[in-house]
Amino acid sequence: MRELAQRLRRHIAIAAVATLCVAVAGAAHAQSNARVDDSASSKELARVKRAPGVRTTVAIYELRSAVPEVQVPAAQEMFVTALIKSGAFAVAERQRLNEGLMRERQLNSAGITAGPAAGQVAAARYVFEVVVSEANRGAGESAQSVNIGGMSVGGGKSADAIGLDVRIVDVQSGLVVDAVNVVKTIEARTSSVSGVGNLLGSLRGLSGKTMPINVDGESRSSRKEGVDRALRACIEVAVAELARRLAAD
């Protein structure tokens, strides 16, 4: 029994030191390099077949959000980026005509800049109406914990949900010709280990001895996907579906 207790003490002590070292190393190397988005939704968007010929011209006239955490201007930029990345659409700028395009045309007309004569602005074939329509907080939640000799090991996870609705309006007829809705789960996970010293003291007590010094260790971690990241994934999946549907028309 004494030999078993000694072995257990050695293994647990090593595990405790390793846990603390990993936690410290993780904090020291928290910085990461920037990279091109290679998420699953971005890859799905890249797999959309590009039809030969002129791309369909589209515009976004309305993007609304019922989710307080979502910034509408940022969400609109995400949607435009996804449309361009798909390779299936040419995006007609409508929201900021006076900020850039018209000013540049005025400079050209006044002879201040050298450029081609201004022509008509490209007409959109379809208009997209986008609504961030739902955010189900606490869609699922669970937690587990176990206590061994005073050492506590626990973990938990929760799941929220965010949804996106897109309506496709034909400019010529004014009819809503199609609609796409996408839902994504936002997962969060937590884990913790505490009271390692308590377990070591309990094991040492099996041999009738006490710990000469107080030893303890604790580790906590949590991870949750951001709302913006989840929204971008919804947008990219929606645009991929839009590209496939409109290409089939």
Whole-Å CA distances, 98 to 65, 94, 101, 111: 25, 9, 6, 19
Select the more confidently predicted residue: 231 or 190.
231
Residue carrying the six token digits 């009271």: 195
Q: 41-193+221-248: CATH homologous superfamily? A: ABC-type transport auxiliary lipoprotein component (3.40.50.10610)
42-62 confidence digits (pLDDT tens): 988 888 887 777 788 898 888
What's the mean pLDDT in 184-195? 80
Whether the predicted pLDDT of 175 surpasses 80: yes
Share of the chain above pLDDT 90, in %: 21
pLDDT of residue 27: 47
What's the mean pLDDT in 212-234? 78
Q: How many CB atoms lie within 10 A of CB 28?
A: 8
At residue 221's C-alpha, the angle toward residues 220 and 223, to 5°, is 160
What's the mean pLDDT in 186-212? 71
Q: How many CB atoms lie within 10 A of CB 150?
A: 15
Nearest-angstrom CA–CA distance, 199 and 202? 5
Of 66-75, 164-173, 240-249, highest mean pLDDT: 164-173
Whether the predicted pLDDT of 38 surpasses 90: no
113-161 confidence digits (pLDDT tens): 665 555 566 778 999 999 997 766 655 566 777 777 677 778 887 778 8
**Cα R_g (the chain), whole angstroms:** 28
What's the mean pLDDT in 237-245? 92
Q: How many CB atoms lie within 10 A of CB 29?
A: 8
Domain ranges of the chain: 41-193+221-248
Least confident of 80-89, 200-209, 219-228, 229-238: 200-209
Q: Name, in order, each residue with C-beta under 8 angstroms of 104's C-beta and a sequence gap of 6 or more.
A: 113, 115
Q: Name, in order, each residue with C-beta under 8 angstroms of 99's C-beta and a sequence gap of 6 or more.
A: none
pLDDT of residue 232: 93
pTM exceeding 0.75: no
pLDDT of residue 220: 77
* Contact between residue 107 and residue 113 where contact means Cβ atoms under 8 Å apart: yes
Nearest-angstrom CA–CA distance, 80 and 130? 11
- Going by pLDDT thresholds of 50, 70 and 90, the confidence category of residue 221 is confident
Whose CA is closest to 168, among 44, 78, 60?
60
